[in-house]
Amino acid sequence: MENIQLIQTNDGSSSLLNTTLNETYHSTHGAIQESTHVFINNGLQYFVEKNHPASVSVFEVGFGTGLNALLALLFSEENKIKVDYTSIEAFPIDWEIASQLNYPEQLKRNDTQNYFQQLHQVEWSKRIKVSEKFSLLKVKTPIQGFEFLQAQFDVIFFDAFAPTKQPEMWALPVLERIVHAIKPGGVFVTYCAKGQVKRDLKSLGMFVESLAGPPGKREMVRAIKP
């Protein structure tokens, strides 16, 4: 993939730069710290602590480098909670590129390298049990091509490229389809804090919170479905 370059972010973890869009896959201030803060701490962990479920269904918009999926897997194992993870990606990176990402080295946890490789190499469009508590369904499709069911997911990780780079991903009809798929009490989290995104989520009946962002970013958004 000639338009993808490996970069290092300020917390020591690596990320990728899409040179066509001139957009990085994570904050240059720190890939791991951004994903942990936005998607794990304020998304998955928040939902678990609030609801104490036996299992959690997560939907991710943008598998990307696989970092969010890896962190969710480690969370499921550490907290002994079942996570059924579904992720879509229209333009997946190949393992040759992904294998250069240093997340297993940075996270320093047992089996992380093995898990990370499995996440990238599992068969597409088939739910695979990656660890005792974590299963993954990866679908190679743009979000417009994914068929959502009503009240299907507990937690949404919305990790598309920024609205300035991929405005179609943040359009109201897309957000409407996703909100339709969130269970009552479910959580939507994204790094993006643009006013239009917050207004659109509110117009869809979501309770929208502006939270402190990860290092280098003032705000992030969490929305709860009543």
Task: State the pLDDT at residue 55.
Answer: 98
Q: For the chain, how long is the longest CA-to-CA vector?
A: 44
Give the mean model confidence (pLDDT) for residues 70-79: 97
Dist. CA 121–CA 43, nearest whole Å: 26
Going by their DSSP bridges, the two strands 134-139 and 128-129 should be labelled as antiparallel
Can you give the CATH number for the domain in which 67 is found?
3.40.50.150
Encode pLDDT of 93-104 as tens digits: 999 999 999 999
Would you say residue 10 lies in a domain? no
By the 10 Å C-beta count (0-12 exposed, 13-18 middle, 19+ buried), 152 is classed as middle
Task: Return the number of other C-beta atoms located less than 10 Å from residue 172's C-beta.
Answer: 14
Would you say residue 15 lies in a domain? no
Torsion (CA) 94, 99, 104, 105 in degrees, nearest 10 = -150
Question: 3-class SS at 131?
Answer: coil
* Dihedral sign, Cα of residue 33, residue 171, residue 140, residue 222: positive
Would you say residue 186 lies in a domain? yes
Closest CA to 138 of 155, 148, 126, 130: 126
Would you say residue 84 lies in a domain? yes
Task: State the pLDDT at residue 57.
Answer: 98
Would you say residue 123 lies in a domain? yes
β-strand partners of 129: 135
pLDDT higher than threshold 90 for residue 110: no
Give the mean model confidence (pLDDT) for residues 176-188: 98
Query: In which domain, by residue range, is 97 found?
Result: 29-224
- Structural domain count of the chain: 1
Give the mean model confidence (pLDDT) for residues 197-210: 98
pTM: 0.97
Token pair, residue 171, equals 């359009």
pLDDT higher than threshold 90 for residue 1: no
Would you say residue 21 lies in a domain? no
Give the mean model confidence (pLDDT) for residues 8-19: 97
Task: State the pLDDT at residue 202.
Answer: 98
Would you say residue 66 lies in a domain? yes
Would you say residue 6 lies in a domain? no
Question: 3-class SS at 6?
Answer: strand
Encode pLDDT of 35-61 as tens digits: 999 999 999 999 999 999 999 999 999
Token pair, residue 169, equals 């991903």
Beta strands per DSSP E along the chain: 4-8, 14-18, 23-24, 55-61, 82-88, 128-129, 134-139, 153-158, 182-190, 207-212, 219-224
